[in-house]
Chain A
Amino acid sequence: MNESITAIQQAIDGLDLDGIRALVMKCLEEGMSPEAIIQEGISKGLEAVGRKFEEGEYFLADLIMAGEVVKEAMPLLKERMNPGGSGKGAVILATVAGDIHEIGKNIVGMILSANGFEIIDLGVDVPAQKIMATAQATGARFIALSALLTTMVEGIREVVDSSKAAGIREQVKIVIGGACTSEDLCQEMGADAYGETAIDALKIFNSYSAAR
């Protein structure tokens, strides 16, 4: 493999926030396309980070740092890319109504964005109607809901019910995560999947994207 692309993988895997831009520039100067750099360098570097996270070598803060490393690189690549991106799809991100916690949601957004998903972040304390209106207006079919407070989990059911009322339940995938959520809660609320970590969320949405 090209040494420069390997260096990008290693920079992401090694959380090298300060070195990534120079490495990306080097690859571009050597004639590699932005798409190839993302696919062979950045995505594979993030895969390595994800493996380390799952194996307990990396922690949440390391995931964030990996996302920041990618954020350093992406402007250099995006300005040279064809419009349309990687086409993995758009994900609507929201913390459910009544809950204003956003750290987990933002980490998921960062990881999904770094892996080629378009992120529509509606923020925190988001009513179900707004999420559905956004899904209908943008055509986004992936929805990621975060909930930390036990008392606010009904917000998940409201999004599921709203999607039914809007007649798009079969078209959208609703994935939940957050401190008070679980596989059982996912089934109870009628959502499609539960992700315990940001890496779980990435795997889930990757599988949905591949199945489109």
Chain B
Amino acid sequence: MHAIERVLNTLEGKPVDRVPTFCAMVEDRTFNEVLGKPLIPQELLMTNPVARFVLDRWGPSLSRPVFQAELNRALVKRIRAQVELGFDSVWAILDETFTVLDHTTMVRFNGSVFNIQPDGYGNMTYMYRCPGIRSREDFEAWPYWPDTDDLAHRTYTFFRKVVRDYGHRTCLFGQGPAYGIQESLLWAVGFEKMPIWIRRDKDLVKRYIDLNEEICLKTNMALLDAGVPVIIQTDDFAFKSGPLMNPKLIDELFGPPYRRIIKAVHDRGAKYVLHSCGDNTLLFDTFISWGVDGLHAYENTSNVDIFKEKKIHGDKVTIVGGVGVDYLLTDRSRDEEVVHEVRRLIQELGPGGRFILAPVHSLSSIPARKLEVMVDAVRRYGAYPLSSS
């Protein structure tokens, strides 16, 4: 069975020949190990005084032609490396959401500020710094909102090439330049202030959600037009111990846009997978009611019980994830431990299908070798019918 058929059948709950795999990793360090390091390390952009001067002085105007172009090359490299590693499905992201302000600062178009920083392995990464919208005035004056039609066009152009080059080899889980609607709001106004915004500035929250829904819808449609078979959306609704907000409120605020988006994806014959970190136990029914086909990540470091979820929702939604990145896929573990855990996950979650084995998250500390061990173990032990031993 071809990887694409294996993954799509699993998302539909149909029989497959073995448990499929999803990469869920998007870190340059890992993929440099697969494809070789670039001649010019990305980190030089931050450490080289000339590059720093240029970025500090002309960052915004160089953002699109230089920085975004470099990032897009890295994004394609990430997809290629995931394919080389032999995954059945890979996470293909286009992150055209940023404007570089200086050599340490980027703003995301929907209201948040990020640090540009080294990943510890010679590459650049970015990490959330603070909200960009702190008041009604900030919201009205925010200068970085994209032209959504232009964004959709760029998304289509990027993914058309990705589908042409890799779409026949692996099942592409495509994520356009649209982050989750809820987490974008959280980043834009800050989590400590988000409950107050929701209470006191309902009109602005509604407008913010509407703007992001439009971005999601248009870019998702561009992905589908380009031929991507599965949309994946990150939106972290939970923390380690449970949902950020009352599940009823989450459904009230974010259910309508997500239902519309997922329906539009389904109408075009594609699948929809939602990535949400943390313990989403109280939210799984809500997500399923929105129409998702698969859910990623079931973080092992949170309180979620993936095995219990298999019993409760295993026939309604495809579980994607299971393999921890806190220890198992790091340099600290032994190969035998990875194989043992893969076998355990297959034994527990494989019966009945609707399980795609994957790392629960993406971290720079994950070496490519551990991913190879994981993929190899699934090939050896994941064939249906599953062995009982």
Q: Which residues of A come within 8 Å of B, CB atoms?
A: 17, 56, 58-62, 64-65, 68, 100-101, 103-104, 106-107, 110, 150-151, 178-180, 182, 196-197
> How far is A100 from B114 in the complex, measured between Cα atoms in Å?
11
Q: Tell me which residues across on chain B come within 8 A of A103, comparing CB atoms.
A: 190-192
Q: Choose from B190, B195, B325 the contact partner of A61 (Cβ within 8 Å).
A: B195
Minimum CB distance partner of B114 in chain A? A100
Q: Tell me which residues across on chain B come within 8 A of A64, comparing CB atoms.
A: 191-192, 195
Minimum CB distance partner of B186 in chain A? A103
Tell me if B115 counts as interface (CB < 8 A to partner A): yes
Q: Choose from A17, A58, A59 the contact partner of B199 (Cβ within 8 Å).
A: A17
Flag if B239 contacts A179 (CB, 8 Å).
yes
Tell me if B301 counts as interface (CB < 8 A to partner A): yes
Q: Tell me which residues across on chain B come within 8 A of A100, comparing CB atoms.
A: 115, 127-129
Minimum CB distance partner of B130 in chain A? A102
Contacts A17-B199, A60-B244, A180-B326; A106 near B129 (Cβ below 8 A): no
Tell me if B312 counts as interface (CB < 8 A to partner A): no
Q: Tell me which residues across on chain A come within 8 A of B200, comparing CB atoms.
A: 17
Least Cβ–Cβ distance between A46 and chain B, in angstroms: 16
Least Cβ–Cβ distance between A188 and chain B, in angstroms: 12
Flag if A56 contacts B282 (CB, 8 Å).
yes
Q: Tell me which residues across on chain B come within 8 A of A196, comparing CB atoms.
A: 240-241
Minimum CB distance partner of A179 in chain B? B240
Flag if B192 contacts A110 (CB, 8 Å).
yes
Flag if B195 contacts A68 (CB, 8 Å).
yes
Flag if B245 contacts A179 (CB, 8 Å).
no
> How far is A126 from B198 in the complex, measured between Cα atoms in Å?
32
Residue of A64, A68, A106 with most partner-chain B CB within 10 A: A64
**B257-289 CB contacts (< 8 Å) to partner A:** 278, 282
Secondary structure type dominating chain B contacts: loop
Least Cβ–Cβ distance between B300 and chain A, in angstroms: 11
Tell me if B292 counts as interface (CB < 8 A to partner A): no
Minimum CB distance partner of A153 in chain B? B326
Minimum CB distance partner of B120 in chain A? A151
> How far is A121 from B118 in the complex, measured between Cα atoms in Å?
25
Given contacts A61-B195, A65-B195, A179-B240, 9 further A-B contacts (CB under 8 A): A60-B242, A62-B245, A100-B115, A101-B128, A150-B301, A150-B326, A151-B120, A179-B239, A197-B241
Flag if B239 contacts A104 (CB, 8 Å).
yes
Least Cβ–Cβ distance between A199 and chain B, in angstroms: 10
Tell me if B365 counts as interface (CB < 8 A to partner A): yes
Flag if A61 contacts B244 (CB, 8 Å).
yes
Q: 6 nearest interchain CB pairs? A: A61-B245, A61-B195, A103-B191, A150-B326, A65-B195, A179-B240
> How far is A151 from B362 in the complex, measured between Cα atoms in Å?
12
**B101-135 CB contacts (< 8 Å) to partner A:** 115, 120, 127-129
Least Cβ–Cβ distance between A198 and chain B, in angstroms: 10
Tell me if B54 counts as interface (CB < 8 A to partner A): no
Q: Tell me which residues across on chain A come within 8 A of B196, comparing CB atoms.
A: 17, 65, 68
Q: Tell me which residues across on chain A come within 8 A of B128, comparing CB atoms.
A: 100-101
Flag if A59 contacts B242 (CB, 8 Å).
yes
Minimum CB distance partner of A64 in chain B? B195
Interface digits, B14-55 against A, CB 8 Å rule (1 contact, 0 not)?
000000000000000000000000000000000000000000
> How far is A68 from B129 in the complex, measured between Cα atoms in Å?
22
- Ordered by A's residue number, 28 sampled pairs between the chains whose C-beta atoms are within 8 Å are A17-B199, A56-B242, A56-B282, A59-B242, A59-B246, A60-B239, A60-B245, A61-B195, A61-B244, A61-B249, A62-B195, A62-B246, A65-B196, A68-B196, A100-B127, A100-B128, A101-B128, A106-B192, A107-B192, A150-B330, A150-B363, A150-B365, A179-B301, A179-B302, A180-B301, A180-B326, A182-B301, A196-B240
Minimum CB distance partner of A67 in chain B? B192
Q: Tell me which residues across on chain A come within 8 A of B86, comparing CB atoms.
A: none
Least Cβ–Cβ distance between A74 and chain B, in angstroms: 16
Contacts A107-B192, A180-B326; A59 near B243 (Cβ below 8 A): yes
Q: Tell me which residues across on chain A come within 8 A of B302, comparing CB atoms.
A: 179
Q: Tell me which residues across on chain A come within 8 A of B129, comparing CB atoms.
A: 100
Tell me if B9 counts as interface (CB < 8 A to partner A): no
> How far is A57 from B190 in the complex, measured between Cα atoms in Å?
23
Contacts A61-B245, A179-B239, A196-B241; A151 near B364 (Cβ below 8 A): yes
> How far is A182 from B301 in the complex, measured between Cα atoms in Å?
9
